[in-house]
Amino acid sequence: MYNEIPDFKITPVNKNLSLMEFPYQIKLDSKLYSDNLKEININRYPIFDTNIIKEKLCEINGVSYDRNILLGNGLLELIQTILLSFSTKKTNLLIPDPSFFMFTRLANICRVDVHKIPLNNDFGLDVQAFIYASQKYENSLIIIDNPNNPTGVLFGVDEIRCIVENCKCPVIIDEAYVAYSTQGSNILNLTSEYDNLIVLRGFSKIGFAGLRFGYIFSNQDLISYINKFSLIYSLCDIKMNL
């Protein structure tokens, strides 16, 4: 029982490229940093208004401030929270193969069965295979990393739209690396059209991996439901005031 989930190990090297971190140190404005921290009551549990942050995130991502956002301690925590929220019944997770290895690990932790859908020969999504699998397995959940990790391929909006439209289950698009795509991504705009689409973004791959901060865009019903499974006080005052 205790050996079902393997230990998480990172091979120690001088420059660890496996984590895909931004290699250059980000220098924070020391005065701004210290001024913000002066206002924090570190003896109190963190209670803060997130509306300013959410409004800024909408501005950064070029969407109107009517989108529903859930903040979290990095994308890994958010993905695990999503998996937990949909694992109340026997759940089947559908993911591309290859894809981010942590999808499988988090699914194992949440006791979710994983089904891998191989990419096409050109590393594109096998859309029909995803649709078929979502119909074959009850209580399905789909996670697609876009751009894909490790191939770096950016899947097209039409491919994603087809999966979202035809798979009657939640579809999560992990856009951790979208900032490095020269083509950008219009998937975020689809969250206003579909009630089963969830888009994840964060700051880890653009220089703030140590901050552990990510967020979800989706519709109000999904955000409200997933939020029920979030840990209270998971975001600290120090982080939110940087």
Domain 68-240 has CATH 3.40.640.10: yes
Percent of the chain past pLDDT 70, that is, above it, reads 71
Query: Above 80 in pLDDT, residue 64?
Result: no
How does the average pLDDT of the chain come out, rounded?
83
Predicted confidence (pLDDT) per residue in 15-32, tens digit? 555 556 555 565 655 655
Model confidence at 165, pLDDT cuts 50, 70, 90, reads very high
Between 49 and 18, residue with greater pLDDT: 49
Per mean pLDDT, which range of 25-34, 104-113, 154-163, 179-188 is the poorest?
Answer: 25-34
Q: What is the pLDDT of residue 119?
A: 98
Q: What is the pLDDT of residue 117?
A: 98
pTM recorded for the entire structure:
0.84
Q: What is the pLDDT of residue 239?
A: 64
Model confidence at 207, pLDDT cuts 50, 70, 90, reads very low
Mean pLDDT of 85-110: 94
Other beta carbons less than 10 A from residue 150's beta carbon: 12
